[in-house]
Amino acid sequence: MAHLTTAQLWEKGFLIGSSTILTDTSISDSQVRLSREARRAAAAMVGQDYALTVTPTSGSDLRPRMFFTVDAFTAGGWFSSAESSFR
């Protein structure tokens, strides 16, 4: 989330979703609220880590989008134990 402060996130918020949203062709770019180019670039990164963040640079909704893979929630993932639950 480059160039964002905690205050900006608190005031404007951010969107959270599954990384499958980026690769699911039945979901349109406008539903994801990303440009085609930004979505393609993010989709190419799916599977390289447990999560990725996309911060749009144009459009009417500039809130960051955080996408998590299913692996983030399964055994060994970031949120797979009670001590590191996603709250």
Residue 44 has a pLDDT of 93
Continuous segment of H or E residues that includes residue 26: none
Domain ranges of the chain: 16-59
Sequence-distant (6+) residues with CB within 8 A of 35 are 29, 56, 58, 59
Q: Would you write out the chain's pLDDT as a tens digit for each of its 87 residues?
A: 456 677 777 777 888 888 999 999 999 998 888 889 999 999 999 888 888 888 888 877 888 888 988 887 776 766 666 666 655
Residue 46 DSSP class: T
